[in-house]
Amino acid sequence: MTLETLKECLAPEGFIAILAQNGVEALELWRKRKPDLCCLDIMMPGLDGYEVCRRIRAENPRIPILFLSAKSEEMDVVAGLQLGADDFVRKPFGKHELLARLYAALRRVKPAATATPKFRMQDLSVFPGELRAERQGVSIDLSPRELSMLQLLKEKVGAVVDRDAFLDRCWGLEYFPESRTLDQHIAKLRKKIEPDPENPSLIETVRGIGYRFRPS
């Protein structure tokens, strides 16, 4: 799976992948962009994945780190885990396995990072500490950004949340996404949480301004 393929695999789930061509660039991007999770290959030029993992873990003991690697001997896996990686995914792997591992890693760190209680949006229950929602017993995985979008809508219930507020809160003041990025993420989130994404009842579009959550 190439970097671009990996990016395309994660995009429908609401993840923004920041790609690095080598270990030095990966470390620089991590320090600059502060992502929610890091995926590393062992065989990276410049600095190998082991060294990048060691340096990241020395600076941040909590961020989830996953190795995605064709080097799958027991000694490779053990070395990665001993350096502080949360998981080791052997290549080749499928999209669904990768997503399951990513969400599991994010869930492991989320409860300690936030004490935000669960909340409801109509018949949807949202569990921030578990990065998921639930409707009629069916669990729905949420990315950190999707959770942030729902929390913002819930906080501003009944009011219109403009585009700038979404981008500042859910992307950060230092990141400038493309103009359609928010709309694309809303569309993907609707597919996850709306009973009928073509006729949304949870996330209402307010043309020319932004989006709104109505309690009923």
Tens of pLDDT, residue by residue, the chain (216 residues): 688 888 888 887 778 889 999 999 999 999 998 898 999 999 999 999 999 999 999 898 888 999 999 887 888 888 988 898 989 998 888 888 898 889 888 877 765 444 568 999 999 999 988 889 999 999 998 888 889 899 999 999 999 999 889 988 887 655 555 557 788 889 889 999 999 999 999 999 999 899 999 887
Model pTM score: 0.61
Q: What is the pLDDT of residue 150?
A: 96
CA distance to 50, 52, 152, 186, 208, per residue, from 145 (Å): 28, 25, 11, 11, 22
What does the domain layout of the chain look like in residue ranges? 3-110, 119-213
> Which class does domain 3-110 fall in?
alpha beta
Provide CB contacts within 8 A for 194, sequence distance 6+: 200, 201, 202, 203
CA-wise closest residue to 40 among 60, 59, 56:
56
Fold of 119-213: Arc Repressor Mutant, subunit A (1.10.10)
Query: Biggest alpha carbon distance in the chain?
Result: 56
In sign, the C-alpha dihedral spanning 180, 181, 186, 188 is positive
Question: How does DSSP classify residue 128?
Answer: G
CA-wise closest residue to 72 among 87, 57, 54:
87
